[in-house]
Chain A
Amino acid sequence: MADTAATAGAGGSGTRSGSKQSTNPADNYHLARRRTLQVVVSSLLTEAGFESAEKASVETLTEMLQSYISEIGRSAKSYCEHTARTQPTLSDIVVTLVEMGFNVDTLPAYAKRSQRMVITAPPVTNQPVTPKALTAGQNRPHPPHIPSHFPEFPDPHTYIKTPTYREPVSDYQVLREKAASQRRDVERALTRFMAKTGETQSLFKDDVSTFPLIAARPFTIPYLTALLPSELEMQQMEETDSSEQDEQTDTENLPLHISTVGPAFCLLHSTPKTHPCCPQPITLGSRHDLPRASGFVLGT
C-alpha cells in the first residue's frame, strides 16, 4: 500500500491514484485524508525540531498514525457495540485510549501546549457513496412488531421462494413403460457387458456379437444356486412381508416404484449387501419427497 515514490507533503498518494489522475470520488476522499495526515505528521516533526525528513520516514510515520487512529476507532466501536449502542460516545474513546496504554490525563495539557501548530482543516470531500446494490422490487416495510431501528428487510429476491417444479410423471402407463424400458436397458447393458468381458457362446456361426450368450459354466455345487433364493429375492420378500401385500384389485392406485435400476445397479457394484439401499423401491407416495433422499433414508 505504501508508495515509496510518493512525494512528501501534499503530493503523497497511493499507487491507485499514482499515475493516473483518478476521478473516482472514493479515491479522492482517501487521497485527501492521507494528505491531511501527512500535513499533521510534518507539522509534528517540525514542532519536534526537524528541519527536513526523508520521504520514506514521513510515509512510515503517516502509516503509523493512520493505524493508531484506525485502531482507536475500531476499538471504540467495539466498546460501543458491547454496550448495545450504535454510536460511540466519549467514554468509549476514553476506555479505548486507556486500554491502549495512553494516559488520558495528559491529553488536555498536550492539546493546549503552546508551540502547537494549527493546521487548516482538510478540504471537504464527499464521503464515497457505496454503489447501490441491485434491487429487485420493493423492500418490505417492517411489520409493526419489529422496532424501526432494526435493519431493513433485505431485498425480496433473497428470501421469497418462487416454486418452479416440473409436473411429476404420474401417468400410470408412462411410468410402467419407463420402468420396463429402464430395466430392460440396464439388463441388456449389463448382460452385454458380461458377455463382452467373458467367454461367450453363439447361436450363429457367422456372428458372435448380435446374440452373445454368456458361456455356461458348471458349478461345483450346482444345487445351492438353484435352490437358494438370491439375496435380492430375500430382501424383496422381507419387504413384501413387512408391507403385507393387500388385496389390490386395481393396480393403478398402487404406489408406484420408479427405481427400476435397483437390481441391476447392485450387480454393477458389488454384492447387494454393501448397498442395502439400492434395490429398495423408492416410492413416489408423497410428492415432495426427493427420490434420492427417501432412498437414502429407507436404506439406512
Chain B
Amino acid sequence: MPPTGLEPARMNRKKGDKGFESPRPYKLTHQVVCINNINFQRKSVVGFVELTIFPTVANLNRIKLNSKQCRIYRVRINDLEAAFIYNDPTLEVCHNESKQRNLNYFSNAYAAAVSAVDPDAGNGELCIKVPSELWKHVDELKVLKIHINFSLDQPKGGLHFVVPSVEGSMAERGAHVFSCGYQNSTRFWFPCVDSYSELCTWKLEFTVDAAMVAVSNGDLVETVYTHDMRKKTFHYMLTIPTAASNISLAIGPFEILVDPYMHEVTHFCLPQLLPLLKHTTSYLHEVFEFYEEILTCRYPYSCFKTVFIDEAYVEVAAYASMSIFSTNLLHSAMIIDETPLTRRCLAQSLAQQFFGCFISRMSWSDEWVLKGISGYIYGLWMKKTFGVNEYRHWIKEELDKIVAYELKTGGVLLHPMFGGGKEKDNPASHLHFSIKHPHTLSWEYYTMFQCKAHLVMRLIENRISMEFMLQVFNKLLSLASTASSQKFQSHMWSQMLVSTSGFLKSISNVSGKDIQPLIKQWVDQSGVVKFYGSFAFNRKRNVLELEIKQDYTSPGTQKYVGPLKVTVQELDGSFNHTLQIEENSLKHDIPCHSKSRRNKKKKIPLMNGEEVDMDLSAMDADSPLLWIRIDPDMSVLRKVEFEQADFMWQYQLRYERDVVAQQESILALEKFPTPASRLALTDILEQEQCFYRVRMSACFCLAKIANSMVSTWTGPPAMKSLFTRMFCCKTCPNIVKTNNFMSFQSYFLQKTMPVAMALLRDVHNLCPKEVLTFILDLIKYNDNRKNKFSDNYYRAEMIDALANSVTPAVSVNNEVRTLDNLNPDVRLILEEITRFLNMEKLLPSYRHTITVSCLRAIRVLQKNGHVPSDPALFKSYAEYGHFVDIRIAALEAVVDYTKVDRSYEELQWLLNMIQNDPVPYVRHKILNMLTKNPPFTKNMESPLCNEALVDQLWKLMNSGTSHDWRLRCGAVDLYFTLFGLSRPSCLPLPELGLVLNLKEKKAVLNPTIIPEAIAGNQEAAINPSSHAQLVGFQNPFSNSQDEEEIDMDTVHDSQAFISHHLNMLERPSTPGLSKYRPASSRSALIPQHSSVCDGTPTTKPQWSMELARKGTGIHLGVFNLEGKEQSPLEMSMHPVATAPLSVFTKESASSKHSDHHHHHHHEHKKKKKKHKHKHKHKHKHDSKEKDKEPFTFSSPASGRSIRSPSLSD
C-alpha cells in the first residue's frame, strides 16, 4: 500500500519532501468510463463508471466521490449493492430565503459550500457506504471496485450539446457534444474524484452513431460496430496516470485529418471545414519541435488530438493528450489577423499538455506553478516565433495588465496558504470572493492570476538564468515520466504532481541559488510595486541625483526592497547601475561618465553597441544625460512613473532600441504636445525598421498631440501626408493603391493610421472635414481584387475609423432625431455603414468582422445623438443563430444602451438571456460586459436599482447558475459591482441601525443605511444628510432576532449529514478537516474566512464601547466596512444603539479576537493598546453572543438526496 495513505488527509500541512499526502482514505488506481448511449435529440447520456480503489485506512466505510447533475441509479461495490447519498450544497448556496442580501454573507456561504464538496479536502457530493459484507475486506486494504450507473439529462454544464435545427440526421446536421468547464468540472458529466491530484489510468468507451466520431484521451484501441451496424464503440485507453479533471470528450461527425508531419497527431473539425483545418494546423509541428527541444523531453503522450468545435466554452481547453478549440480559430490562408492569434492558441494548449495535463498539481495553491511554467514556455515560443520585439511587447502588455488589475482590486495572490491555524483571516480580504477554491474565483481574477504566474516565472528566470530554469522543467518532466511508467506502483504517481515547495526545492537544487525572497515577495504575497522617479543633475559633482519613491499604502501595492536596475544613456554611452532600494533611502547618486561638453561630430554609442549620430541641439547644454530608464528589463512587477524632460523622452523614442522603452516614451510624450514631439513621432512612424506596434501606438499618440496643439498646428492633418506617401498612388494622391498586403508591417500600419486620424479634432472639436473625406475616399477606392489576402479586417477598421470621427450632435432643445435633421457628414457615414452591412448579408466576410464594426459604429451614432437610440436592431443581431462575434458586439451595444437609457426592459432582457441562452460563453460574456459597463454602481441612484432586481440577481447567483462555476462567479462580480459587499441600498431598510463589527471591534452604522460607506477607503466622512433621513428607521426591531434563531435551530439535513460524516472520517487526525470538527457546536460548515474587512482601524473605540455597554442582548454582526471611518462626532449624531443589533455572526473564534486584531493592524498597535480594555469588554459580550447564536450562517449545504438510506442513523 502506498505509504502516503497511512496518514491520510493532511492537506494543509506544509508539503515537504515526503511527497504528496492524499486527503482521501483511499487511492484510486483505475477508472472505466463507459457511455453507451448518447441521444442528441433529447440531449441525454447514459453510462456507467467503474473505479478501482485501494483503501488506505482499515476502517474505511464511506467513500466520497464527486458528481454533479448526474442521476445515479445504482452503486455496487465489488458487485454488492451499496447505499449512497447524493447531496450537492452548491445547488443552492443560501437557503431559508432569509432577508440576507449581502454579498459578504453569500461569498462565505458559497466558499463553505464548495469546501463541503471539495475533493482536495476529501469531500464529495456523492457519499457511498461500503456494504458491511466488505468491511473485513476493507480492513485488509484490498481492492474495491465501485460500479456506478448514471445518466445525464439535458446537462446545463460540463457537457455541451450543439444541435443545429436543420433537416437531416444528426450527423448531417453537424450536431456534436463536448465536455467543457472551468477548472475541475469533470464531475458534471460522470462520477469521479474530480481533483487534479488523484491520478489513475483510464479506460474510456463511447458508443455513438456510426456516422459520428468520439474523440477522447489516450490511444484509440479499437472501434467496434454493434451487431446492427448502426453504432460504433470507440475504446480509448489512457495508460499515463491522469486526473479526472483532465479527461475530456468530443463526439460529432468530425472530419479527420492526420497531421502530415507527425502521424501521431490527429486533427478533427466539423464538416466542410477540412480545408481550413489543413491550413490552420499546418504549423503545429513546429510548436511541438520547439517545446520538445527546449524541454529536452519528448511529448509525454503517445498521441495528440486537436478538436475544433462550435459554441466553445473557452477558446482553448487542454486535456490529457487532447485539446478542444473553438472552431472560430480556423482560418484560411487569406486571413492575416487571425493567424498569429490561432497559432498562439495552439502553442498555449500544447504548453499546457506538458504542464497542466501531464504534470498535474497537488492542490489549488500550487496552480500558479503549472500556469506559470506553461505560460513561461509559451512565452519562449513567442520569442522564437514572433521575435524579441513582440515578446518584450507582450511582456510589457501583460505587466501593465496585472499592475492595473492589482491596483484596481487590491492584489492577486499566487500561492494562498490557508488555515495554518493562526492565520485566520482571509488572505484576500480585499476581494469580494474567496480565493480558496478555483470555483469561487472571479474569471477576471483567474485570468490575471495566470498572467501574474508566468510573469513571476520570468522573474525567477531572471534570477537563476534560463538554462537552469529549463533544467528544472526537464527534471520535473523526467521525474514524472519515470513515475508514469510505473504501472503498478500507484504511490509513485504522486511524482507527477507538482507542488510549490517541490518546485522551489528543485530550483535550489539545480541552480544553487536562493530565490526565497523573490518567492516571498511575488508568490506568497499579493500586490505590485509603484515607483515614482525623478532626478536632478548636479553639474558640479557630475552626478545624477535620482529620487525613487514608492507608494506602498494604496491597495494592491507592496513595498519593494532590493536591487533595481537603472540605465542611463549619456553622451558617452549607455550605463547600467544597480541601485539598492532600501527602507528609507529615496535618493541615489549615480556618477556620470561623460562631461557635459560634447564633442561635435562624435557618434553616440547605444546600449546594443550601435553608434548613431544624433542632433543634440535639443538637449540641455549642461547635462550629458540623454535619457534614463528605471528597471528596463521589467524584473520587478511594477508601475514606474518617471519624470524626465520632453526632449529626453524624444531621444528615448528615437534612439533607444528597446520596444518597451519606445512604448513608454510614446505614452509620456502625450503630455508634451510640442512640435518636437510631433516630429519625433512622425519620424518613428516613417521608420521602416521600427517595430510595427510601436508605430501603431505612435499614430494614436500623434492624434492626441495634434488635438492638444490644434490652435498652432500647421500643415495638413496629422498623418495624412504620411499615409498618402506610403499608401497612395504617386500620380493621384487621393487614391489609395490597390491592396497588397504582402508586407504585414505596412498592412497593420495602413489599417491603424486612418483609425487614429479619425480621432483628430479641429478647433470646434469636430473631426476635420478633410479627414472624413479622406477616409471615405479610402473606402471608395478600396480595391482588393489583386490581393492575396482578404481585406475584411482592413475594411472593418475603416468603419471603426468612421465611427471614431463621429462627434456629439448639436442638439436643439432635445428634438427627436429624424432623418431630416441629420448632419450631412453623418449621412455619408451612415450610407457607408448601410452599404457595408447590407453587403455582408450577400458576401459575408471572415468572422463577420465588418458586421461587428458596423454594429459598433451604429451604437456610436446613437450615443452621439445622430440616430435615435434604439436597441431593437442590436437585439435582433444578438439572437441565437448569429455568429458569436456578432452576438457579442450586439449585446455590448444593448448593455451600453441599458446603461445610458437606464432601461429596465433591456436589463430584464439581458438577465433573461443570461439564464436561458444556449451558449455558455455568451451568458458569461453578458455578465462580464454588464460588470464592466454596469447600468449603475453601488453608490449611484438609479431607477433600475430596486428590490426585484436584487432578488433576481441573488437568485441567479444563489441557485440559477449552479451548473457553471464561471457563470456563478460572474454573477457574483455583477452583484458586487451593482450593490457592493453590503446589503443593497435599494432594499427596504433593515431592522437595525447599527452593527458591531466583530473583527474590528467597533460598532458602525449599518452599512445598509450608508450605501456610500462601502465606496472607498478614502471617503472618511459621510454625508450627514444621508444619515439624517435615516434616523427614523432605527427603531427597535426584535423580530429579526427570532428569525435568526430559528435558522440556527433548523440545521439542514444535508448539513447534518456532512458534519456527521466529517466526524466519521476524522478518526485519524484529519488536519484538513479539523476546522470542521466542532460539530457539536453546529458550526460544522462554517468557513474559516473572517470578514473581508481590512479597513484601517479608526479612532472610534469610544463609540464601540458605548455601544457594547448598552447592547445587552444585541446581536453581533460582521459587516465589511472597508474604512468606514465615521468620525465619533458624526456617529454621535445617531445615538440609537439601544436597538438589538443585527444579524448574523461570523464564526471567528472570539478568543482570538484581540490577537487577530493586532496582527491585522500592527501599524496602529499603540493606538489600539490604549483601547484594549474596551475591546475586552466587548469580548465578553461577544462570547456570550456566540453561545447564544453560534450559527448564523444558515447552512450552505443544500441539494436533495436522491436516496438516503441508512446513513442518517
Do they bind each other?
yes
Within the assembled complex, what's the spacing in Å between the Cα atoms of A218 and B174?
Answer: 17
A205 and B843 CA atoms in complex are apart in Å by 27
Known: A229-B790, A252-B729. A213 touches B873 (CB 8 A): yes
Q: How far is the CB of A280 from chain B (nearest CB, A)?
A: 10
Pairwise interchain contact B876-A216, C-beta atoms closer than 8 A: yes
Can you report 28 A-B residue pairs in the complex whose CB atoms are below 8 A from each other? A172-B729, A179-B783, A190-B842, A191-B839, A201-B872, A203-B858, A204-B817, A205-B868, A210-B819, A213-B838, A215-B876, A216-B879, A219-B882, A220-B164, A221-B310, A222-B882, A222-B884, A223-B883, A224-B272, A226-B328, A226-B885, A227-B273, A230-B843, A237-B332, A250-B730, A251-B738, A257-B785, A281-B786
1/0 per position for A197-218, CB-CB distance to B under 8 A?
Answer: 0000101111100111111111
B1184 close to A (CB within 8 Å)? no
Distance between A73 CB and nearest chain B CB, rounded to angstroms? 70
A236 within 8 A of B: yes
A232 within 8 A of B: yes
B729 touches A213 (CB 8 A): no
- Chain B residues lying within 8 Å of A230, measured Cβ to Cβ, are 843-844
Q: Which 5 A-B pairs have the closest CB atoms?
A: A218-B881, A191-B838, A173-B732, A226-B883, A207-B819
Q: Which of B836-887 contact A (CB under 8 A)?
A: 837-839, 841-844, 846-848, 858, 861, 867-868, 870, 872-873, 876-877, 879-885
Query: For residues 159 through 182 of chain B, which have their beta carbon under 8 Å from a beta carbon of chain A?
Result: 164-166, 174
A213 x B834 contact (CB < 8 A): yes
The one of B272, B334, B847 that contacts A233, using a Cβ cutoff of 8 Å: B334
Q: Are A201 and B880 in contact, with the CB atoms below 8 A?
A: no
Tell me whether B738 and A267 are in contact (CB under 8 A): no
Contact: B843 with A221, CB < 8 Å?
Answer: no
User: Bound complex: CA of A218 vs CA of B882, how far in Å?
Assistant: 5
Q: Are B873 and A201 in contact (CB under 8 A)?
A: yes
Give bound CA distance, A216 to B882, whole Å.
8
Chain A proximity of B1032: nearest CB distance (Å): 47
Whether A254 sits at the interface, judged by CB under 8 Å, is: yes
> Which residues does B use to contact A, with CB under 8 Å?
164-166, 174, 270, 272-273, 276, 310, 327-328, 330-334, 729-732, 735, 737-738, 740, 742, 780-781, 783-788, 790, 817-819, 830-831, 834-835, 837-839, 841-844, 846-848, 858, 861, 867-868, 870, 872-873, 876-877, 879-885
| A130, B542: Cα distance in complex, Å | 119
Interface of B: prevailing SS: loop
Please, how many angstroms separate the alpha-carbon atoms of A224 and B848 in the complex? 11
Shortest distance from the beta carbon of A70 to any chain B beta carbon, whole Å: 69
A100 within 8 A of B: no
Question: A179 to B817, alpha carbons, bound, how many Å?
Answer: 35
- Give the chain A neighbours of B732 by CB distance below 8 A: 172-173, 176
* Chain A residues whose C-beta falls within 8 Å of the C-beta of B781 in the assembled complex: 176, 180
Complex contact B729–A251 (CB within 8 A)? yes
B273 touches A228 (CB 8 A): yes
A125 within 8 Å of B (CB atoms): no
Task: Kindly state the separation between the CA atoms of A219 and B868 in the bound complex, as whole angstroms.
Answer: 28
Residues in chain B near residue A219, CB distance under 8 A: 881-883
| Cβ–Cβ contact B881 & A214, under 8 A | no
Q: Taking A203-B870, A221-B164 as contacts, is the C-beta distance between A245 and B844 under 8 angstroms?
A: no
Contacts of B872 in A (CB 8 A): 201
In angstroms, Cα B839 to Cα A267, docked, is 11
Pair B834/A240 contact, Cβ less than 8 Å: no
Asked if A237 meets B834 with Cβ closer than 8 Å, knowing A180-B783, A203-B868, the reply is no
Of the candidates A173, A203, A218, A223, the one whose C-beta lies within 8 Å of that of B327 is: A223
Known: A203-B870, A240-B786, A257-B786. 14 other contacts (CB 8 A): A172-B732, A173-B729, A184-B780, A201-B872, A217-B841, A221-B164, A223-B883, A226-B846, A226-B883, A227-B331, A236-B787, A245-B742, A245-B786, A254-B786
Interface: A53 (CB within 8 A) = no
Q: Take A226-B847, A237-B334 as given contacts and tell me if A252 and B730 are in contact as well, using a CB distance cutoff of 8 Å.
A: yes
Residues of B within 8 A of A173 (CB): 729, 731-732, 735
Taking the closest CB of chain B, its distance from the CB of A107, in whole angstroms, is 84
Q: Is A241 in contact with chain B by the CB < 8 A criterion?
A: yes
List residues of chain B with CB within 8 A of the CB of A225: 844, 883
Q: Is residue A27 within 8 Å, beta carbon to beta carbon, of the partner chain?
A: no
- Best-buried of A179, A214, A222 by chain B (most CB within 10 Å): A222
* Residue from the list B332, B333, B740 in contact with A245, Cβ < 8 A: B740
Report how far A223 CA is from B311 CA in the complex, Å.
9
B-contact bits for A117-136, CB 8 A (1 contact / 0 none) = 00000000000000000000
Q: Is A187 an interface residue (CB 8 A)?
A: yes
Contact of B788 (CB < 8 Å), options: A172, A207, A222, A237: A237
The smallest C-beta distance from B775 to any residue of chain A, in angstroms, reads: 14
A195 at interface (Cβ–Cβ under 8 A)?
yes
Report whether A172 and B842 are in contact in the complex, using a CB–CB cutoff of 8 Å: no
Q: How far is the CB of B735 from chain A (nearest CB, A)?
A: 5
Interface status of A270 (Cβ within 8 A of chain B): no
List chain A residues, Cβ under 8 A from B742. 245, 247
Residues on B with beta carbons closer than 8 Å to the beta carbon of A190:
842
Answer whether residue A263 sits at the interface, using C-beta atoms and an 8 A cutoff: yes
Residues of B within 8 A of A227 (CB): 273, 276, 327-328, 330-331, 846-847
Whether A195 and B333, one on each chain, are in contact in the complex, defined by CB atoms closer than 8 angstroms, is no
**CB pair B883 A194 closer than 8 Å:** no
In the docked arrangement, what's the CA distance between A245 and B838, Å?
A: 30
Q: Which residue of B lies closest to A174 (CB)?
A: B732
Say how far A177's CB is from chain B's closest CB, in angstroms.
8
Is A248 close to B, CB under 8 A? Answer: yes
Q: Name the A residues within 8 Å of B740 (CB-CB).
A: 245, 248, 251
- Residues on A with C-beta less than 8 A from B837 are 213-214
**Contact residues of A between 250 and 274, Cβ < 8 Å to B:** 250-252, 254, 257, 263, 267
Does A188 lie at the interface of the complex (its beta carbon under 8 Å from any beta carbon of B)? yes
What B residues does A217 contact at CB under 8 A?
841
Residue of B nearest to A259 (CB): B785
Determine the chain A residues whose CB is within 8 A of the CB of B884 once the complex forms: 222
Q: Is the CB of B334 within 8 A of A226?
A: no
A1 CB, min distance to chain B CBs, angstroms? 68
Contact A218 B880 (CB under 8 A): yes
CB-CB < 8 A to A281: which residues of B?
785-786
Chain B residue with the shortest CB-CB distance to A241: B788
Contact A220 B834 (CB under 8 A): no
CB neighbours of B847 from chain A (8 A) = 226-227
Knowing A184-B780, A194-B838, A205-B868, the reply to whether A245 touches B846 (Cβ < 8 A) is no
Does A229 contact B334, Cβ atoms closer than 8 Å?
yes
Residues of B within 8 A of A205 (CB): 868, 870
Given the interface pairs A221-B164, A226-B844, the reply to whether A240 lies near B787 with Cβ below 8 Å is: yes
Max chain A Cβ within 10 angstroms of own Cβ: one of B270, B742, B842: B842
How close is B858's CB to chain A, nearest CB, in angstroms?
7
Which of A176, A226, A227 has the most B CB atoms < 10 Å from its CB? A227
Q: Across the interface, do B844 and A204 meet the contact criterion of CB distance under 8 Å?
A: no
Taken together as a complex, chains A and B put the C-alpha atoms of A245 and B732 apart, in Å, by 22
How far is it, in angstroms, between the C-alpha of A267 and the C-alpha of B270 when the chains are bound? 28
- Shortest Cβ distance from B275 into A: residue: A228
Q: Which residue of B lies closest to A267 (CB)?
A: B842
When the two chains form their complex, are residues B166 and A220 in contact, meaning their CB atoms are under 8 A apart?
yes
Question: What's the minimum C-beta distance from B864 to chain A, rounded to whole angstroms?
Answer: 13
Please measure, in the bound complex, the distance between the C-alpha atom of A263 and the C-alpha atom of B839, giving whole angstroms. Answer: 11
Contact residues in A for B867 (Cβ distance below 8 Å):
203-204
Residues on A with C-beta less than 8 A from B328 are 223, 226-227
**A207–B818 CB distance below 8 A:** yes
Give the nearest-CB partner of A219 in chain B.
B881
Query: If A223-B327, A224-B272 touch, does A236 touch B785 (CB 8 Å cutoff)?
Result: yes
Distance to closest chain B CB from A204 (angstroms): 5
Contacts of B785 in A (CB 8 A): 236, 257, 281
- Which residue of chain A has the shortest Cβ distance to B838 in the bound complex? A191
Separation of A219 and B740 alpha carbons in the complex (Å): 33
Known: A226-B848, A228-B272, A237-B788. A172 touches B731 (CB 8 A): yes
* Identity of the chain A residue whose Cβ is nearest the Cβ of B842 in the assembled complex: A267
Query: Out of A188, A204, A224, A267, which one reaches B818, CB within 8 Å?
Result: A204
